Structure 1
Amino acid sequence: MKYVCVDCQQQYVSFRYECTCHGMLDIRHDFSEIDGDFLKDRFNSRLSERMGPYASGVWRYKELIFPEVDESHIVSKYEGNTGLYQHESIARYAGVRNVWLKAQSENPSGSFKDNGMTVALTHGKSLGYTRFTCSSTGNTSSSLAMYAALAQAHSYVFVPNKNISLNKVLQTLAFGAHIFSFDGTYDDGITFLEQHSEELGLYICNSINPFRIEGQKSIVYEIAHMLNWNLPEWIVVPGGALSNVSALGKGLSDLYTLGFIDKLPRVVVVQAEGTSPFYNMIVNNSPQLEAELEPYTVASALNIGNPPSWRKAKRTLEETNGIAIAVTDEEILNAKAIIDASGIGCEPASAATIAGVKKLVAQYVIDKDESIACILTGNMLKDTDVLRNYHLERQMPYSNSLIHAELSVATVFEAMRK
């Protein structure tokens, strides 16, 4: 295993968060001796596991993620193993015939962050760390706090004091984290940790940590495995810190190199218009990302103006002939209402995927007969303020209001008739 700089290609043999040029690092595994068919059989056999590390939808693929780690260090809560759903009303709303939704919202802490966090905590534990940290708008912090608690370790979380979901902060507190609420943005928290984590004795669990990406790439492994190694023509993912699209690209590259798949799907990154620096860079064909200093979107998980993983995300789009798109908050909330009413449910950031598909179909970029997989990143209860505002306080296109009525058969019949 080697650590390779995304920018200058400098290689390292020992762990570090960034290159001397300040570029992000990739973990490179040597797959030259791997027998793909043998691994497929091994992965299939692990589907019957109910206890132990290989019951996890991440550690099932250990040989492709962190083959060197001893099982005794693994910190797992049977993450992964999330549902892959289809629903007629969602497909009809998006304007397509065949759309899959990968519900990472079903993870133990309620978001896709668990796929990466189990590997980051495991690596930190293997190095002897007992104090773990992150900067977060919510999902990363709650995932970190949960895994640290499982490992009987301490978590120290840095959370901006505005434009975040209180539900996620409360979940993080309940898991026992020490939370520092600060003036500033997610990006300010990352900068602080990059500068001071070593002197504080803290192991960073944000996406600047390449082991986070190794864990998150298991999401596309699972999709491919569930579809018998036949991926859809498109994979759509929301873009905040951009770790998910970075991991998606790395996982796709692994599967293609090993011969598990014979073609790469096109990847779509969807951002919210109020915080879309990556989209702006792509559509303007700019060589560098220009940070947004005051990002805002109702989809709090996307509220990141200077995403650290933009270079890796850009590489994913280049390798898959992918695209980026931005959608409005109203488009996100309406798509969320459709996903929620289907019985699947998601947090606002997740719904950006279906909003993006709908927009791309209308622009004739995606054909209605093409197959698509959308990554739903978080649980619908991650942000109940959005639910209350959409359904109870505003008149939105798909609001589902309370029925105020006296308790009588006649009144109920009349309401049912309407």
Structure 2
Amino acid sequence: MVYRCLECGAEYDIGELLYTCPTCKGLFLLEDKNEARLKARSGDLWRRLFDYRKMLNIPALKGIFLYYELIAPVIPLDRIIYLGEGHTPQVAANEALAAAVGRPFAFKNDGQNPSASFKDRGMAAALSYLNYLVSSRNLGKVLAICASTGDTSASAALYSAYLGDKIASAVLLPHGKVTPQQLAQPLGSGAAVLEIPGVFDDCMKVVEHLSDHYRVALLNSKNSWRIRGQESYAYEIAQWYDYDLRGKAVVVPIGNAGNITAVLQGFLRFHDLGIIETLPRIIGVQSTHANPVFRYYLEPD
């Protein structure tokens, strides 16, 4: 596997802590250079394999890593972290909600993840990779850090805490803009929580500077391992519907578009391997108060 820059196409070894391209500062996605080997198995064989794994009691192959070959085949099973994330239920809307929307639909209840957030999917992948990297390279204690106003900090602190002395965890929050309840989760997991003047973007600039100049693990969505972990959304939805996605639409909230990128990529990879025959329609939704992606698509070419 390599980091591949989405802007210039440059590739870098995953043995380094990298988050943006050193050449052009573009974002990375992970690319499996041997992905063609996955096509040696038929779509039917993949379906039977994933369904069979749901009956196993092997922690490393539970949660998001039930789809191990697609998410992180380079990480040894004994370095995978599993805290109970993933395989959250899809709950059918009641009659009143279905009537209000005009059709039956279901929620994927990711509030049942360990930190009560979908962010646990990405953190399981990112911290499993970090566990592998620290152990295999004898890096000693590594600082894992994120900027956050809530969910990211709770998830990052929880998964970092599980690794004990291998990881020191720190969270940067904008002063006065986070509730006591949001502060409680990272503090309860033992993270160093630092409030700085400004807004989230100011916290992010500090985190990016540290990760660019020091041996620091950035745990925000620029971490391409997090995107890999969040592909599990697509895999689970497909498996829930017995791999038949005809007539299905998946509605995804968009912040900085990391999650919808992962969902799209997950469905495309399943389709490419013949695991699903039909791609669902993907609908991204943004708040009117924070809609940069929506406004971008309104701009003329």
Same fold? TM cut 0.5: yes
Paired residue for 1:60? Answer: 66
Paired residue for 1:282? Answer: 297
> What SS class does the counterpart of residue 30 from structure 2 fall into?
strand
Structure-2 separation of matches of 1:180 and 1:123: 25
Paired residue for 1:89? Answer: 96
Paired residue for 2:20? Answer: 18
Contact 1:220 1:248 in 2 (8 A): yes
Unaligned 5+ runs, structure 1: 287-418
Task: Give the stretch that moved more between structures: 75-84 or 191-200.
Answer: 191-200
Cα displacement (A) at 1:93 = 2.0
Structure-2 separation of matches of 1:274 and 1:163: 16
Structure-2 separation of matches of 1:247 and 1:176: 29
Q: After the TM superposition, which residues 290-301 of structure 1 pair with which residues of structure 2 at under 5 Å, given as runs?
A: none
> What SS class does the counterpart of residue 275 from structure 1 fall into?
coil
Dislocated runs of 4+, deviation >6 Å: none
Q: After the TM superposition, which residues 206-285 of structure 1 pair with which residues of structure 2 at under 5 Å, given as runs?
A: 206-231=220-245, 232-285=247-300
Paired residue for 2:31? Answer: 28
Cα displacement (A) at 1:264 = 2.1
Contact 1:31 1:258 in 2 (8 A): no
> What SS class does the counterpart of residue 286 from structure 2 fall into?
strand
Contact 2:60 2:78 in 1 (8 A): no
Q: Deviations 1:58-106 (Å, cap 9, x if unpaired)?
A: 01011100001111211220210201011222212222x2212111111
Task: Give the stretch that moved more between structures: 224-233 or 76-85.
Answer: 224-233
Cα distance change, pair 49–89 in 1 and its aligned pair in 2 (3 A):
farther
Cα distance change, pair 13–199 in 1 and its aligned pair in 2 (3 A):
closer
Report the AA paired with residue 105 of structure 2: V
Structure-2 separation of matches of 1:76 and 1:86: 27
Structure-2 separation of matches of 1:189 and 1:256: 38
Structure-2 separation of matches of 1:148 and 1:70: 18
Report the AA paired with residue 267 of structure 1: I
Unaligned 5+ runs, structure 2: 135-140
Cα displacement (A) at 1:169 = 1.7
Structure-2 separation of matches of 1:71 and 1:59: 9
Cα displacement (A) at 1:285 = 4.1
Paired residue for 2:52? Answer: 45
Report the AA paired with residue 78 of structure 2: S
Contact 2:6 2:27 in 1 (8 A): yes
Paired residue for 1:193? Answer: 207
Report the AA paired with residue 227 of structure 1: Y
Paired residue for 1:297? Answer: none
Contact 1:85 1:102 in 2 (8 A): yes
Matched, 1:106 2:96: no
Match of 2:183 among 147, 169, 176: 169
Paired residue for 1:135? Answer: 147
> What SS class does the counterpart of residue 160 from structure 2 fall into?
helix
Q: Deviations 1:354-406 (Å, cap 9, x if unpaired)?
A: xxxxxxxxxxxxxxxxxxxxxxxxxxxxxxxxxxxxxxxxxxxxxxxxxxxxx
Cα displacement (A) at 1:185 = 2.2
Paired residue for 2:122? Answer: 116
Q: TM-score, normalised by structure 2?
A: 0.89
Structure-1 separation of matches of 2:47 and 2:179: 40
Paired residue for 1:411? Answer: none
Report the AA paired with residue 44 of structure 2: D
Q: Deviations 1:247-288 (Å, cap 9, x if unpaired)?
A: 1111111111111122322222211111111111112346xx
Structure-2 separation of matches of 1:285 and 1:234: 27
Superposition RMSD in Å: 1.7
Task: Give the stretch that moved more between structures: 151-160 or 228-237.
Answer: 228-237
Q: After the TM superposition, which residues 269-348 of structure 1 pair with which residues of structure 2 at under 5 Å, given as runs?
A: 269-285=284-300
Cα displacement (A) at 1:200 = 4.5
Cα distance change, pair 130–72 in 1 and its aligned pair in 2 (3 A):
farther
Cα displacement (A) at 1:51 = 4.8
Matched, 1:145 2:145: no
Report the AA paired with residue 65 of structure 1: I
> What SS class does the counterpart of residue 125 from structure 2 fall into?
helix
Match of 1:69 among 68, 71, 75: 75
Task: Give the stretch that moved more between structures: 133-142 or 40-49.
Answer: 40-49
Report the AA paired with residue 55 of structure 1: K
Q: After the TM superposition, which residues 149-160 of structure 1 pair with which residues of structure 2 at under 5 Å, given as runs?
A: 149-152=161-164, 153-160=167-174
Structure-2 separation of matches of 1:248 and 1:258: 16
Structure-2 separation of matches of 1:90 and 1:285: 37
When Rg is computed on C-alpha atoms for both structures, the one with the higher figure is 1
Paired residue for 2:137? Answer: none
Structure-2 separation of matches of 1:262 and 1:22: 36
Q: After the TM superposition, which residues 359-370 of structure 1 pair with which residues of structure 2 at under 5 Å, given as runs?
A: none
Q: TM-score, normalised by structure 1?
A: 0.65
Contact 2:62 2:82 in 1 (8 A): no
**How many percent identity over aligned positions?**
32
